[in-house]
Structure 1
Amino acid sequence: MTLETSTLKREGLDTTHGAILYLNDITVSFDGFRAINKLNLDISVGELRCIIGPNGAGKTTMMDVITGKTRPTSGTAFFGQNYDLASMTEYEIAHAGIGRKFQRPTVFEQHTVFENLELAMKMDKRVRPTLFARLTSEQEDRIAATLRLIRLNGQEDRLAGLLSHGQKQWLEIGMLLMQEPQLILLDEPVAGMSDAETARTAELLNELRGKHSIMVVEHDMGFVTEIAQQGKVTVLHEGSVLAEGRMDQVQADERVIDVYLGR
């Protein structure tokens, strides 16, 4: 699928059916090893879905498939009704509205917090005359609103490299938001955070619930419990869905206890 085709399809993206992501019988094999094994998963529009499971369960590979980093050996992956993710490049997928944040924050440390958000802002870079050209009042308002949302208002003139680990994580989430994604993938967003930072991150994601579709891969069960609320939690094991349901349901599932939670 060409970028031009992707752009045209994005304008007509139809999510009225209630789901924004479909993974159907996805299998990924590496030298005979199945990292993903006939995985079926769907994410609803505006849903915050938590993905848990032991190391090696296929969580990262699943995200790699969704973002185009890894091609499935078999199966289909669709974003909305119109995007066949397996036929798109990583750039096309990002342009279509899927944003991903890795576990380790990647911000521009020699630029200020404000400049990081400005650099990430979705706009036509071809018609922008120079980097950091004068922003419109609407663009400045968007950055100000994002700074408040990610708890960094008052820090906008600080170099990103001087932020704490948790603040860098929030800044990177803010940079994703500036790109106006419809689906956000977060890989262990609270790893290495203090308890206070973890709690504030839970507040942030709960505020984003309903405004974006969000997939969170995380090992911190306290954090998952805080953001899962009455939403759905998916447990992966050996590349497939082992269990799915409310947090209390998966915590009581004997299979999940045996392979992940422990007794």
Structure 2
Amino acid sequence: MNLWQSMARRDRVFEFLAPAISPVDVRHGPILYMEDVTVSFDGFRAIDNLNLTIDDGELRCIIGPNGAGKTTMMDIITGKTRPDTGDVWFGSRHDLLTMNEPEIASLGIGRKFQKPTVFEALTVFENLELAMTADKRVIPTLTARLTGDVRDRIEEVLTMIQLADQQAQPAGILSHGQKQWLEIGMLLMQRPRLLLVDEPVAGMTEQEMERTAELLTSLAGKQSVVVVEHDMGFVRSIARTVTVLHQGSVLAEGSMDQVQSDPRVIEVYLGESEEAA
């Protein structure tokens, strides 16, 4: 895939610039609210009366066996999939089910997919600069001038993702973990209010996992972060509240200690995960 094709991909959340201060209103409730959400594919209920709330600034971990509905849940939040029934609100004013993907992203909802998708021919710095450009048409993007504010933001994000020393390197030579951090950084350039992160440590070394844990926990309080992950050691290292999905609905929710000791969770997921580990 060449640069022009990459820039045109519809699944790249960072194609749509979120405002510096998102208009989401959280004075009267959580930043994300899902109630009685159901979606079926060819008669199979991927999501079944799902109820979930995420508070502003919260770091939430979502776990569950394969097929539990984790990816479909994120697809619904970002407008990729429309549920059959239910309500999904971003703050108290924005009904996400009435909005398309670009509109949802412009509110300040960013999604990082499992496989990192960065512009490998561009430098780390240029990737972050491109993510910040307000006008996403090709010519304005390539000719945009780098303002002092944008440069300051890039330097800030480079420090956050610990890639300041690699900023002049092509993204293609980065390690897998570094590419993951760069893509998170590209989303952070837009100051998202809610960041959805799908299996961020898959394929990482132990050291990369530790640095990823530091990055995600450092974001809590600044952004709301929802992490979907299978690695239980990593989840334990970052978890405040853990939600367990099973067959498209919430099976259990609480601290890691609480969900680990729940017999239902042990039966459908944790016991199987520990055996696999």
| TM-score normalised over the length of structure 1 | 0.92
Q: Does 1:251 align with 2:260?
A: yes
Decide whether the 8 Å contact of 2:130 with 2:141 is kept in 1. no
Shift of 1:132: 4.9
Question: What amino acid is aligned across from residue 261 of structure 1 in structure 2?
Answer: L
Decide whether the 8 Å contact of 2:22 with 2:193 is kept in 1. no
CA RMSD of aligned residues (A): 1.7
1:72 aligned partner: 83
1:136 aligned partner: 147
Gaps of 5+ in 1: 1-6
Gaps of 5+ in 2: 1-17
| TM-score normalised over the length of structure 2 | 0.88
Are residues 247 and 130 of structure 1, via their aligned partners in 2, closer, same or farther at CA, if it must alter by over 3 Å?
closer
Shift of 1:124: 4.3
- Counterpart CA distance in 1 for 2:133 and 2:222 is 17
Decide whether the 8 Å contact of 1:118 with 1:132 is kept in 2. no
Aligned match for 2:235, one of 224, 232, 236: 224
Are residues 243 and 142 of structure 1, via their aligned partners in 2, closer, same or farther at CA, if it must alter by over 3 Å?
same
Question: What amino acid is aligned across from residue 175 of structure 1 in structure 2?
Answer: M
Shift of 1:17: 2.3
- Deviation digits for residues 25-81 of structure 1 (CA, Å, limit 9, x no counterpart): 000001111000000000000000000000000000000000000000110100111
2:124 aligned partner: 113
Aligned length: 253
- Counterpart CA distance in 1 for 2:185 and 2:34 is 27
Runs of 4+ in 1 over 6 A off after TM superposition: none
Shift of 1:138: 1.6
Shift of 1:136: 1.5
Decide whether the 8 Å contact of 2:176 with 2:203 is kept in 1. yes
- Counterpart CA distance in 1 for 2:162 and 2:111 is 20
Q: Does 1:234 align with 2:243?
A: yes
Shift of 1:12: 4.5
- Deviation digits for residues 78-118 of structure 1 (CA, Å, limit 9, x no counterpart): 01111111111111100111000000000001110000000
Partner-residue secondary structure (3-state), 2:191: coil
- Counterpart CA distance in 2 for 1:88 and 1:184 is 18
1:33 aligned partner: 44
Shift of 1:180: 1.3
Decide whether the 8 Å contact of 1:27 with 1:37 is kept in 2. yes
